[in-house]
Amino acid sequence: MAKADKKTISKDTQFEYDTIIIGTGPGGEGAAMNLAKLNQKVAIIERHQSVGGGCTHWGTIPSKALRYSVLRLDEYKENPLFGGHANDLHLTFPDILKHASGVIRKQTNLRSSFYNRNRVSLIHGEASFVDEHTVAIKKEDGASDQITGKNIIVATGSRPYHPPKVDFSHPRVYDSDSILSLEHDPKSIIIYGAGVIGCEYTSIFKGLGAKVDLINTRDRLLSFLDNEFSDALSYHLNSGKTTIRNGEEFEKVETKDDCVILHTKSGKKIKADCILWANGRTGNTDKLNLSAVKLEADSRGQVKVNKNYQTSVSNIYAVGDVIGYPSLASAAFDQGRIAANAIMNGGADSELIEDIPTGIYTIPEISSVGKTEEELTAAKVPYEVGKAQFRHLARAQIASSEVGGLKLLFHTETKEILGIHCFGMNASEIVHIGQAIMQQKNGANNIEYFVHTTFNYPTMAEAYRVAALNGLNRLL
């Protein structure tokens, strides 16, 4: 953790702003809104023409909008009401991008209104440090302005990592940002990197009917998941025209006018219409002139902070992807809010929750919070498992979405909920019901809650009662 240097600021020092924030993604927005509502004079700097950061324009929002379109297509094709006619329908990647573009436009308009309503000064340009209280802003026309602030928050986010051996200027080589400019309809694609982004885009292209080779540098998909759910995802992705290749690393990417060929270290040659590089991200710190304030970024472009999100310079804070784990939009917003409280109160009066939920928007969807079976076993915690299969729920049968289920992990003696894992329709929504109970104190985080409460019928939430009864029946 970084230890902040204490610098003395004269009471007579005049700054244009109480706080300057660099970046309008979730972290920057969370900080700006909190500080503005606490009557601080705030400026927020955005290098792009529209607010929202990578989350809104290239990451979370567009990929989930694309996935939603593909999911609707899958549901239409599988619905018996439409018979064989649905199989004749074909959507291309540019087709579904139209829906994503509409969502992005609505999000940027909404977020712009937040700054207007809260009287936050929105300044467009490329920001860099002059000193610990001064930021230079380079405009599109080359002109440069400077503004001063008592405190500065870095919320510049991250971008896809580009290994030097790969030619990203080639029209058939994409990263998770540039893939949104794809204008043709690939019949085959290589996706290098089987993290969350790689798995989500595998679902998207698989749903569009493309042949997908998913290259996983590890021995299993998303190893942070409960093994049962990692295996379930592998089963559903590794079907049809999709092949998952575990334990592979690239040697080189050969680019041609009509295709790309991935050469692996194991000697394989994999050919496709294009390649999507989805392996690793880098913090956006290279243009900040960190040396001017005696800050350094690590090899991944990230800066170190303490529990208040302070860097080693006491008035400079950092939040979001630029500080690394957990690199989630939801967490970044909370980090911005906490950093704002630290600025106002001389220290943070809250912190991120210990068990942050994960939502993975593959097809089927996955979400979890808390411990996995493997973690509990390694820690020698006595636990039991309660399961509910979605195919047994009336709501899932009505929606023809019977894949997946809910798993509850709980302590065998106290019955405290230790982990919640969900796979299938609306998993990222369903998990929050259990999370709310799991976060209760003084014994209220007990699995028996789900037995004694009443759920709407028919609902997917009913899976909690089924899983709780299943688990309690396993106890000796």
pLDDT digits over 120-155, tens only? 999 999 999 999 999 999 998 889 999 999 999 999
Dihedral in degrees, nearest 10, Cα atoms 203, 207, 213, 217:
0
Question: H/E element holding 236?
Answer: helix 227-237
Strands, E assignment, 296-446:
316-318, 358-360, 366-370, 383-389, 404-411, 417-424
Buried b (16+ CB within 10 A) or exposed e, 122-161: bbebbbbbeebbbbbbeeeeeeeeebbbbbbbbbbbbbbb
- Assess contact for 353 and 439: CB atoms under 8 A: yes
pLDDT tier, 349 (very low <50, low <70, confident <90, very high otherwise): confident
pLDDT of residue 99: 87
CATH of domain 364-472: 3.30.390.30
pLDDT of residue 149: 98
Distance CA(288)–CA(295), nearest Å, equals 10
What does residue 83 show for φ and ψ, rounded to 5 degrees?
Answer: 55, -145
Residue 425 sits at the vertex; the CA angle it makes with 421 and 426, to the nearest 5 degrees, is: 75
Tell whether the model's pLDDT for residue 82 goes beyond 90: no
CATH 3.50.50.60 fits 173-279, yes or no: yes
pLDDT of residue 84: 59
Over residues 212-243, the pLDDT tens digits come to: 999 999 999 999 999 999 999 999 999 889 99
Give Cα separations from 96 to 114, 211, 465 (angstroms): 28, 18, 37
* Tokens 């902070």, residue located: 305
Mean pLDDT of the chain: 93
Tell whether the model's pLDDT for residue 9 goes beyond 60: no
Give Cα separations from 103 to 68, 97, 108, 427 (angstroms): 11, 10, 9, 22
Over residues 175-196, the pLDDT tens digits come to: 999 999 999 999 999 999 999 9
Residue 410 sits at the vertex; the CA angle it makes with 407 and 411, to the nearest 5 degrees, is: 160
H runs (alpha helix) in 87-208:
93-117, 196-207
Which is higher by pLDDT, 92 or 273? 273
Token pair listed for 18: 């109480």
pLDDT tier, 4 (very low <50, low <70, confident <90, very high otherwise): low
pLDDT of residue 389: 97
Which residues is 276 bridged to in the sheet? 174, 191
Stated pTM of the model: 0.92
pLDDT of residue 85: 62
What is the mean predicted confidence (pLDDT) over 46-59?
92
Q: Which of 150, 188, 189 is nearest to 20 (CA)?
A: 150
Distance CA(69)–CA(47), nearest Å, equals 30
- Crossing angle of helices 427-438 and 463-472, in 10° steps, is 60
Token pair listed for 388: 């509910």
What is the mean predicted confidence (pLDDT) over 87-112?
88
- Assess contact for 160 and 176: CB atoms under 8 A: yes
Over residues 408-456, the pLDDT tens digits come to: 999 999 999 999 999 999 999 999 999 999 999 888 999 999 999 999 9
The two domains 17-57+98-160+282-345 and 173-279 share their CATH topology (first three levels equal):
yes
pLDDT of residue 10: 54
Q: Which one of 3.40.50.1110, 3.50.50.60, 2.40.50.140, 3.40.50.300 gives the CATH number of domain 17-57+98-160+282-345?
A: 3.50.50.60
Distance CA(150)–CA(289), nearest Å, equals 18
Question: Domain residues of the chain, as ranges?
Answer: 17-57+98-160+282-345, 173-279, 364-472
